[in-house]
Amino acid sequence: MVTRMSTTVIREIDNTSNDPRQRPVLITQGADFGPITDSVSAVAEAARPPKIWYVAMGISLCLTGILGASVGYLIWMGTGIWGLQVPVAWGYAIVNFVFWVGIGHAGTLISAILFLFRQKWRTSINRFAEAMTIFAVICAGMFPGIHVGRVWFEYWMFPIPNYLNLWPQFRSPLLWDVFAVSTYMTVSLLFWYVGMVPDLATFRDRSKTRLRQVMYGIFALGWRGSSRQWHRYEVAYLILAALATPLVLSVHSIVSFDFAVSILPGWHTTIFPPYFVAGAIFSGFAMVMTLAIPARAMFNLKHIITLRHLENMNKIMLVTGMMVGYAYSIEFFIAWYSGNPAEAFAFINRAFGPYAWAYWTMVSCNVLSPQVFWFKWCRTSIPVMFVISILINIGMWFERFVIVASSLSRDFLPSSWGYYIPTRWDVLTFAGSFGLFMTLFLLFCRYLPMVAMAEVKSVLPQAGRHPGHGQYWGEITPEENGEDRP
C-alpha cells in the first residue's frame, strides 16, 4: 500500500511527460510541506530582496510622488487643470475609476467563486490576486473623491446628518457606487485577511527578531492550528466566500448604472451590466497575469505558480474576451434595432468618427489579441501571454475611454459637440495611480505571504494523510489533536 502510494506521488510530481492527454500537475519540484513553506517564507525572511525589487520600488515611488503632486495641485487649483469641458464633463477621472474597479474583480472571483466550485488550481494565485483587489479598489476609490473638485465636501456623499440638512440623493447611481465599492472593499479586505491568518502564524513562528514576532503575532490572532481553530476558520472563510460571490456580479453592474440609467445615446442600454462584469473579469485576469509572471520569476516561485495556473487563466481570458467581443457587436445590433437615429449615430460615430483610433485600438487589443490563446503553444508561452495581458489592459482602458469620451463629445445637438483632449495633469494622475498600486503590491510581496501556503499544501498528493485544513486535507478528530471534543 505504501509502495503504491509513493509511486502515485512520484508520478504526479513528475511533470516531464510528453503525453498531451496528461494534465500538468499543480505543484512541480519540491512538492512537500517543508519546501513549500521554505519557498514562500524565504521572500519575507530574506535579509535583502532581489535587486530588481529595489528598481521596481524606486520607479513605483517616483510615480506615487507624481500622483501626490498632481492631486495636491488639483486641490489647490481646481478641476480646471484637467481637460474637462462642455460637453465632455467626465474625463480621465471616471475612466480611471471604472478601469481600476474592473481590475479588482479577478481577485474576488479567483478566491470566492473558484473556492465555492472547489477549483484547486486557484490556491497558488489567490493570495496575491486578493491583494491586487484591495490595492486596485484603493486606487479606484481615490478618483471619485478628487473629481468632485471641492474635496473638503466629500462627506456629503455619505448619509450622515449635517448642519445644512443636506442628504445624499439615494436615486443617484453615483451614490450607489459609494455603497457598492465600500461594501466590496470591506468584504474583500476581510476575506483576504482571514485567509492569511494561518500563514501569518507560520511567519510568526519562523521569525528571528522580536519585532517580527510581535507584529506577525498580533495579526495572527493567537492561531495555533488546533482542529477547533481550523473548523472556525473554514466556516468563516466559507461565509465570506458566499458573501463575496454576489459582489463580483453586483459591484460592476452598479458601476455600469452610472451610464446605463442616463438617456445619452450610447449609454442608455440594458446590456451594460453583464457587459461590464465580463469586461471587469477580463481585465482583472489580465492584470493578475501581468503581475504573476514577473513575481514568480523575481521570487523563485515557478514551481508553485506553474504553467498550469497560467494556462487556466489564459483560457478564462479567452472566454471573457469573446464575451466582450460579442457585447461590442450586439451594441451595433441594438442601436439598429431600436430605430433611434441618435442611438445609431452614436455607434457609427464610435467606429468612424473622431475617436475611431481609440475604438479600433480597443477592438484590436480586447477582441483580436486573445484569439491567439486558441493555440496551446501560445497559452503556454510566457512571453506571449505576458504581452497579451498588457495589450488587454491597454484595450480595457480604451474601452472605458471610448464609452465616456465618444458618447459625451457628440450627443443630441451638433451645436454643442466638442473634442476631449486630456492635459498633462490627467495623464500624470493616471500614471501616478499605477505607482500607488505597484508600491502597495511590492510591499505586500516583501512582508506578507504572497502565496497561501496552507491552501497550496492542501492540494498536494500527500495532503490527505496530514491533519490541518479539513476542507482538503481530511478531518482530524479533537482527540487526535489533544483537545476535548466541543
End-to-end CA distance of the chain: 34
Sign of the torsion angle spanned by Cα atoms 194, 199, 204, 208: negative
Return the closest-CA partner of residue 107 out of 126, 82, 88, 84: 126
pLDDT above 50 (res 18): no
pLDDT above 70 (res 209): yes
Whole-number Cα distances in Å, 440 to 46, 133, 445, 472: 19, 11, 9, 31
Instruction: Decide if 396 is inside a domain.
Output: yes
Residue pair 282/366 in contact by the 8 Å Cβ criterion: yes
Q: How many CB atoms lie within 10 A of CB 414?
A: 7
Residue pair 408/87 in contact by the 8 Å Cβ criterion: yes
pLDDT of residue 29: 56
Residues 241-257, mean pLDDT to the nearest whole number: 89
Residue 226, CA atoms < 13 Å, CB-side half-sphere:
13
In the chain, the percentage of residues whose pLDDT exceeds 70 is: 87
User: What gap in Å lies between CA 434 and CA 378, rounded to an integer?
Assistant: 27
Q: What residue spans of 221-270 are helical by DSSP H?
A: 227-260
- Model confidence pLDDT, tens digit, residues 60-94: 999 999 999 999 999 998 888 998 888 888 889 99
Q: Which run of H or of E encompasses 202?
A: helix 173-206
Q: Quote the domain boundaries for residue 193.
A: 43-469
Longest Cα–Cα distance in the chain = 83
Instruction: Decide if 34 is inside a domain.
Output: no
pLDDT above 70 (res 299): yes
Angle of CA points 341, 347, 350, to nearest 5°:
135
Q: Which run of H or of E encompasses 81?
A: none
Instruction: Decide if 33 is inside a domain.
Output: no
Mean pLDDT lowest among 152-156, 195-199, 256-260, 282-286 = 152-156
Report how many domains make up the chain.
1
Cell 535587486 belongs to 51
- Model confidence pLDDT, tens digit, residues 137-159: 999 989 988 888 788 888 777 77
- Model confidence pLDDT, tens digit, residues 450-480: 888 888 888 776 555 444 443 433 333 343 3
User: What gap in Å lies between CA 85 and CA 392, rounded to an integer?
Assistant: 29
pLDDT of residue 214: 93
